[in-house]
């Protein structure tokens, strides 16, 4: 006998949970099932990110990222206040350390103005020192609306609220989606433990979203390529050298933000991440390897085109991944007084980067329909910040298509 629901969400990361939560709030009488292959919520990208509340500064004006990040950050802060989730709108600085970075800093500032990023201002070397006394820079941007939060705590609270909204709502842990079948108005999800049915399915599968889409016979012209990011943590000796959030000016030719400093909600200071190709989608160690994951990535034409464009940066990132001294050198660009014993190896995260077959990274959030199914196919940073607005967007799109009454 199949378990019957109105809506099934595949994936228990923060985007899946936020989507289920928005459904539960909008349709309290509809039944919702969320399935997650791990034995806990938020176990991958959600639980391994830097915990930053992003301000919407970097993203192309008018893009989903820009709109949903700005809306989602305000909604996330309101949610945190309502449910007593620790957070801090501490602000961040983006710092230029060389004259050649000034033109790109100016572009970022103009982008922030176009995105109506609250309170941003250009700052000089003196103001940089006032905000972060150990940071050295020639110019910068002050972003007072950025902050920090614990996204795993948010995820746990979302899970509680989904179950509270309707006693028939269910969260199934340790259940992996093995098969999706769509027949007229009813869809069937087969997991490793049971069969569930619903009218609407929303797949928020993060590192495995392309595989779930393929199971659903959706033509997507992209593949998820995993990039690992290693973090260091400042020692007790080094902690006093960073107050809040310090970012470099990102390299416009390399699609990652560069190593930065983040004060976590528990008071620790993380440094990183770098960005190196991972041979495993859930590979959190430098030597993690999956034959299936590596084969799928390394036989994908788009990845080799990407490698050919960025091979110099890629080699530097790999060297830094295996050298504490090189990692320190990158950090010293922003905080020159840091010493080797100020940093200690910490955790790692893996970013699900969508890549098309021309070697272009898909930058904006990508959400596609397949009849009564919705697939979140690209939701990298700032997806955690934007998660509540992404969930609301998905509910609104389903309403527009009249898939729900």
Q: Is 10 a member of any domain? A: yes
Integer Cα distance of 102 and 51 in angstroms: 28
Mean pLDDT of 200-212: 97
Segments forming the whole domain that contains residue 22: 3-47+152-222+363-400
Q: What is the pLDDT of residues 70-105, one digit of tens each?
A: 999 999 999 999 999 999 999 999 999 999 999 999
Q: Residue 1: pLDDT band by 50, 70, 90 thresholds? A: very low
Phi, psi of 380, rounded to the nearest 5 degrees: -80, -175
Tokens of 209: 């979203």
The dihedral of CA 146, 377, 363, 253: what is its sign? Answer: positive
Q: Is 39 a member of any domain? A: yes
Q: Is 326 a member of any domain? A: no
As a residue count, the chain comes to: 405
Mean pLDDT of 220-249: 95
The secondary element (H helix, E strand) that includes residue 75 is helix 64-82
| pLDDT for the residue numbered 316 | 87
Mean residue pLDDT across the chain:
95
Closest CA to 206 of 395, 79, 370, 17: 17
Mean pLDDT of 99-122: 96
Mean pLDDT of 142-155: 97
Q: What is the pLDDT of residues 295-354, one digit of tens each?
A: 999 999 999 999 999 888 888 888 888 899 999 999 999 999 999 999 999 999 999 999
Q: Is 25 a member of any domain? A: yes
Mean pLDDT of 342-368: 95
| pLDDT for the residue numbered 311 | 87
**In the chain, how many domains are there?**
1
Mean pLDDT of 268-289: 94
Q: Is 244 a member of any domain? A: no
Q: Is 271 a member of any domain? A: no
Q: Residue 253: pLDDT band by 50, 70, 90 thresholds? A: low
Mean pLDDT of 169-195: 95
Mean pLDDT of 171-200: 95
Closest CA to 224 of 360, 377, 370, 363: 377
Q: Residue 14: pLDDT band by 50, 70, 90 thresholds? A: very high
Q: What is the pLDDT of residues 304-317, one digit of tens each?
A: 999 999 888 888 88
Q: Is 165 a member of any domain? A: yes
- 206, 15 Cβ separation under 8 angstroms: yes
- The CATH number of whichever domain residue 394 belongs to comes to 3.50.50.60
pTM score: 0.96
- 327, 274 Cβ separation under 8 angstroms: yes
Q: Is 14 a member of any domain? A: yes
Mean pLDDT of 171-194: 95
């Amino acid at each position: 006998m199949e378990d019957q629901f109105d809506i099934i969400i595949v994936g228990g990361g923060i985007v899946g949970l936020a989507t289920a939560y928005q459904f539960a709030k909008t349709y309290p009488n509809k039944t919702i099932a969320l399935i997650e292959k791990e034995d806990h919520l938020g176990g991958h990208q959600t639980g391994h990110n830097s915990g930053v509340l992003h301000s919407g500064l970097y993203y192309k004006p008018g893009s989903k990222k820009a709109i949903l990040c700005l809306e989602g950050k305000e909604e996330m802060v309101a949610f945190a206040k309502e449910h007593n989730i620790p957070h801090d709108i501490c602000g961040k600085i983006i710092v230029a350390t060389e004259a050649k970075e000034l033109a790109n800093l100016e572009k970022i500032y103009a982008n922030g103005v176009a995105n109506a990023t609250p309170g941003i201002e250009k700052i000089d070397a003196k103001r940089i020192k006032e905000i972060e006394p150990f940071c050295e820079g020639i110019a910068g941007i002050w972003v007072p609306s950025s902050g920090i939060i614990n996204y795993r705590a948010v995820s746990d609270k979302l899970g509680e609220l989904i179950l509270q909204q309707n006693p028939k709502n269910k969260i199934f842990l340790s259940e992996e989606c093995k098969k999706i079948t769509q027949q007229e108005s009813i869809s069937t999800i087969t997991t490793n433990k049971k069969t569930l049915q619903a009218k609407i399915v929303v797949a928020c599968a993060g590192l495995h979203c392309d595989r779930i889409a393929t199971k659903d016979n959706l033509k997507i012209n992209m593949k998820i390529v995993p990039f690992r990011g290693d973090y260091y943590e400042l020692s007790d000796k080094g902690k006093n050298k960073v107050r809040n959030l310090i970012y470099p000016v990102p390299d416009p030719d390399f699609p990652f933000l560069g190593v930065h400093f983040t004060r976590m909600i528990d008071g620790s200071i993380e440094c990183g991440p770098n960005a190196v190709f991972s041979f495993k989608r859930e590979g959190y160690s430098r030597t993690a390897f999956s034959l299936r994951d590596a084969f799928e990535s390394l036989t994908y034409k788009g990845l080799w085109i990407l490698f050919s464009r960025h091979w110099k940066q890629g080699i530097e990132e790999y060297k830094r991944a295996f050298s504490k001294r090189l990692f320190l050198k990158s950090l010293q660009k922003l905080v020159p007084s840091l010493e080797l014993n100020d940093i200690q190896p910490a955790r790692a995260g893996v970013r699900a980067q969508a890549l098309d077959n021309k070697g272009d990274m898909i930058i904006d959030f990508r959400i596609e329909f397949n009849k009564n199914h919705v697939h979140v196919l690209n939701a990298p940073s700032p997806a955690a910040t934007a998660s509540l607005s992404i969930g609301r967007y998905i509910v609104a799109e389903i309403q527009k298509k009249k898939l729900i009454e």
